[in-house]
């Protein structure tokens, strides 16, 4: 409840200049805070995003084509890396929600400091079908990533490796909730740890 005589109980015309300013600030403060939060979020996302021109310039390395202005992969550490899909595009769902834009100490920030390109082909691999009475089947898919590490400047393959994450096991008995196909989920931290060995061998 507002205190008697407070700015909330008095007509606007009776308020002094200072009281009016205070009233406006109180009313608008939630809106200001919301917009400030949105602004900070947008700035962080933009800062974390890999510039489109960087992806475009380094994408050819995934196709075995040289990028002459890139850093030397045989140079001293740290060797910066960018993560792209197998065709040389942003990997993931696009925008900042992708492996290309994940923050890592080894991530390249410009073409000139990108020595390596990790070209990642991800796919769901069927590893098992669990069958139940009545003929119902639940498929288990591993999240598999085939990674080619390419020297950006020359387009030559430096190394190749595979990563995989298995799904949960099938339930002993099937119900409405368990009659759904199971998928593994390979997280970026696993890839990051592996790529860090190329950045600082």
- Mean pLDDT, 10 residues at a time, over the chain (201 residues)? 54 65 65 50 39 86 94 88 87 62 83 93 91 80 94 96 91 65 88 90 69
**Angle value at C-alpha 91, between 122 and 73, nearest 5 degrees:** 95
pLDDT at 103: 76
Tell me the sheet residues that pair with 145.
Answer: 122, 163
pLDDT at 156: 96
Residues 160, 146 contacting (CB under 8 angstroms): yes
pLDDT at 48: 41
pLDDT at 141: 93
pTM for the whole structure: 0.69
Residues 188, 102 contacting (CB under 8 angstroms): yes
């Amino acid at each position: 409840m507002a205190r008697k005589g407070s700015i909330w109980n008095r007509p606007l015309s009776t308020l002094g200049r200072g009281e009016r300013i205070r009233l406006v600030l109180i009313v608008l403060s939630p809106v200001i805070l919301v917009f400030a939060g949105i602004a900070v979020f947008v700035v962080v996302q933009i800062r974390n995003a890999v510039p489109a021109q960087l992806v475009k310039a380094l994408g050819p390395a995934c196709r075995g084509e040289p990028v002459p202005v890139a850093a030397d992969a045989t140079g001293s550490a740290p060797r910066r890396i960018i993560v792209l899909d197998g065709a040389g595009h942003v990997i993931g769902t696009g925008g900042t929600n992708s492996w290309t834009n994940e923050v890592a100490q080894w991530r390249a920030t410009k073409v000139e400091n990108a020595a390596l390109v990790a070209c990642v082909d991800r796919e769901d691999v069927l590893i098992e079908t669990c069958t139940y009475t009545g003929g119902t089947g639940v498929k288990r898919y591993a999240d598999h990533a085939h990674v080619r590490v390419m020297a950006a400047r020359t387009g030559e393959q430096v190394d190749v490796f595979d990563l995989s994450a298995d799904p949960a096991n099938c339930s002993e008995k099937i119900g409405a909730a368990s009659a759904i196909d199971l998928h593994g989920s390979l997280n970026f931290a696993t890839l990051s740890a592996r790529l860090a060995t190329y950045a600082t061998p």
